[in-house]
Amino acid sequence: MDTIERLTACLNRLPGVGRRSAERMAVKLARDRTGLLADLIRVLQDTSENLCCCSRCGSITSVNDEPCKLCTGHDRDESILCVVEDPNDIMLIERSGAYRGRYHALMGRISPSRGEGPSSLRIDSLLERIEKEKFKEIILALSTDVEGDSTASYIIELLKDKQVKISRLASGLPAGSGIVYSDPLTLSRAIKWRTPQKP
């Protein structure tokens, strides 16, 4: 396999990058004369040397801040744990500014089609944290598709005898959207989990 094929194969392994996009990126990098390739090499080397996943929550952090500031910060609510699928979900929730508790990234979800079962996820460490850190509420911030629902159901079953409140993120119509653009499942959830309004 030549260099361009190896580069294409590597880029193709990134999430959301199909074969054609990977080929275009590889060719762009191979013919680059603007310094992009050199910048990319430096950033990838820096990432390799200086970033890691937090051993406690799984978020991306500096190797010098391990465990991360989300786990050690005294300004966080230690009674709530938000369980997400991926470290990227943590960054998105943090950007919203609506949550100040702790996190736990599963690093995936139960997906028989991809050969990922409960043992592939960070569920054992989740149970250990719940036992040790005595959270009062567990928020399951997982996808609302079949795999996300299966993962949530599995975790709920494991926690049924624990003295902890379990909740899921509300789901329904997205902001700025109309009913006409919604699928039946989204509409069903929006109606089921509707919120009362004061006159």
The predicted-structure confidence for 113-132, as pLDDT tens digits, reads as follows: 888 899 999 999 999 999 99
Mean per-residue pLDDT of the chain: 91
Q: What is the H or E stretch that residue 195 is in?
A: none
Instruction: Tell which residue, 94, 83, 154, has the closest CA to residue 125.
Output: 83
The pLDDT score that the predictor gives to residue 178 is 74
Q: Cis omega (within 30 of 0) on the bond before 118?
A: no
The pLDDT score that the predictor gives to residue 180 is 78
Q: pLDDT by residue (tens digit) across 77-103?
A: 999 999 999 999 999 999 989 999 999
On the question of pLDDT at 168 being above 80, the answer is yes
In the chain, the percentage of residues whose pLDDT exceeds 70 is: 98
Q: pTM of this prediction?
A: 0.84
CATH number for region 3-49: 1.10.8
Ranges 26-35, 79-88, 186-195: which has the least confidence: 186-195
Q: Sign of the CA dihedral 119, 125, 127, 128?
A: positive
Ranges 34-48, 87-101, 181-195: which has the least confidence: 181-195
Domain ranges of the chain: 3-49, 53-168
CATH class label, 53-168: alpha beta
The pLDDT score that the predictor gives to residue 1 is 64
CB of 166 closer than 8 Å to CB of 143: no
